[in-house]
Structure 1
Amino acid sequence: MQPDRRSCGAAVAEVARMVDDPAYAERVSGAGMFAAAVLARHRALTGPTDPLGRAQLPWPPALGTPPWAIARDRSAGGTRHVARPVNPFARAAMLARIRRAAALGPVPVYVGSRLLPRHVVLVLDPDLSTYDPAVGRPVEVADADFVAATMGLAGWSTPWFAVLPLGT
C-alpha cells in the first residue's frame, strides 16, 4: 500500500520491480521495508537524475510521479519503455496493447478524472489483474470499464497513459 497520498507511482514502480525480481521482493517484504522503499523511490523518481544517472527534469514531489519518470525507471531493466497517451476514441486499441505488454511484464497505467491524470496503477497480467496502491492489493478491471472510462480505481475512472515496452 502506498505510504502517503502522492507516492502511488513510486509504489507501482516498487511492485513492478518486485514482480521482475523475486529476490528484491523478499528483501523489501519486512515490516516497514516496503514503505521505506516506496518513499526512497519517490524521491529518486522526482529528483534531478533518473535510475540510470541521466539528467531529468526535476518534478515537484507533491504532484506525484510523472509518466516519463516511470518509463525511465522501467527502462532500467534493459527494455526501453515509453509513456503512451490513451486516446479517448481508441481505448479498446490501447487496451489490446496493454494486454500484449502485460504478457511480458507489469504495465503502469495512469488514471484520473476526465480532466487530469491523478493516480497510477499496475496491470499485472493480460487478464487485467491490476495492483492498486491505494488499497495495496490487486483488483480486477473489466474491459468495458476501461473502454468506457468507468474503472473506479481509487475513485479515478479515466485511463490517461500506459507505460509500455517500445514496440508493443
Structure 2
Amino acid sequence: MPTSLGRGPDDHPERTVSAPARAGGDHARDTGGRRRRGLPDRPDARPPRGAAPPAAGEGGGMDELTPGTLLGRQVDGVTCGPSVLVVTAVLAGSGWPGAVAGRFAAAQRTAHRQANRLWPRALGTTPWGTRAWLRRHAPAAGPFRVRPATRDALAAVPAAPGPVPLLVGSRWLPRHWVLVLGADEDGRWRVYEPGSGRVRVLDLVLLRRGDPAAVAGVLGWPRPWALLLPAGRA
C-alpha cells in the first residue's frame, strides 16, 4: 500500500479546529482544496526539520502534550511514518532506535531503513512495516493490530492505553501518517502531525459529518485509511 506522503499544512501552533477548516508530495492545499506550490517555510510558525521530541519521562506523560507542543518535523517527504515510529517509541519509554539518541533526523532515517526491509522507502511506510518495527523496537508501546479505519475502529481509539498510529490520505490512496496521542474530556483528539511537527486537535464531529477540508486542515489529508490499535481492542 503506497504511503508516499508530504509536508503538513501550514502550522498554527495553538490551533483547534472545531468546525469546517493536505498535504501531499511537496505541496499543500488551502481549505478550498486549491494547490499552493512553492510556499516558503514560515520561521515564526514552523520548527526546524528534525527537532527532537522529549525523551520519555521528560515533561510528563502524553496528557501534557497540549496543542501546539513541538515534537519535531519529518525531515523529508517520505518520513512521516518513521517520525511517528520514533515519537511512539520515545513516549512509550522504549527509547531511540539505534545509537542516535537526541538526533531526531537521524532517528527517522534509521527507523525508515529498519521498517522498510522490502517495501521501497520512496513510497513511505506500510501499516505492516510499521507494526513490525514497533514490535521489534518499541515493545512497550504494543503489541498492535492493523485495522481498517472503520467507524468502530476509530471509536476504539480513545480507550487505547498508548499512542495510536493513524494512516490518512486522499479518497483514493493512503498518503500520510499521524499519531493520535489521546482524547480530551470533550472527546477531541490530540494528534501529532509530522509535517508541522506539532500537536494538533481534531474535533471528531468533522469526521462524523464528512468534512474533508476541515479534517485535512488538522491531519494533512482528509480520509482515515488504517490505524494500529493495541491487540485485544476493538
Please report how far the alpha carbon of residue 75 of structure 1 lies from its aligned counterpart in structure 2 after TM superposition: 2.6
Does 2:170 match 1:98?
no
Quick check: which has more Rg, 1 or 2? 2
- Could you list the per-position Cα deviations for residues 115-164 of structure 1 after superposition, in whole angstroms to 9, with x for gaps in the alignment? 11000000011231000000001100111123326311453110000101
Do 1:98 and 1:162's aligned partners in 2 also have CA atoms closer than 8 Å?
Answer: no
- Could you list the per-position Cα deviations for residues 46-94 of structure 1 after superposition, in whole angstroms to 9, with x for gaps in the alignment? 01xxxxxxxxxx101111000011112223306421210113xxx2x22
Please report how far the alpha carbon of residue 22 of structure 1 lies from its aligned counterpart in structure 2 after TM superposition: 7.5
Does 2:227 match 1:155?
no
Compared CA separation, residues 167 and 133, structure 1 to 2 (3 A): same
- Provide the rounded CA distance (Å) in 2 between the counterparts of 1:14 and 1:118: 18
Please report how far the alpha carbon of residue 97 of structure 1 lies from its aligned counterpart in structure 2 after TM superposition: 0.9
Tell me which residue corresponds to 1:113. Answer: 170
SS in 2 for 1:21: coil
Bigger helix share: 1
How many pairs were matched up?
Answer: 148
Does 2:146 match 1:83?
yes
SS in 2 for 1:139: strand
Tell me which residue corresponds to 2:201. Answer: 140
Runs of at least 5 residues in structure 1 that lack an aligned partner in the other structure:
48-57
- Provide the rounded CA distance (Å) in 1 between the counterparts of 2:115 and 2:86: 11
- Give the % identical residues: 36
Compared CA separation, residues 46 and 135, structure 1 to 2 (3 A): same
Tell me which residue corresponds to 1:39. Answer: 109
Cα RMSD of the aligned pairs, angstroms, is 2.0
Runs of 4+ in 1 over 3 A off after TM superposition: 22-25
Tell me which residue corresponds to 1:51. Answer: none
Select the residue among 139, 157, 164 that pairs with 2:229.
Answer: 164
- Could you list the per-position Cα deviations for residues 26-60 of structure 1 after superposition, in whole angstroms to 9, with x for gaps in the alignment? x733xxx100100111111101xxxxxxxxxx101
Do 2:178 and 2:219's aligned partners in 1 also have CA atoms closer than 8 Å?
Answer: no
SS in 2 for 1:123: strand
Q: Taking structure 2 as the reference length, what is the TM-score of the superposition?
A: 0.59
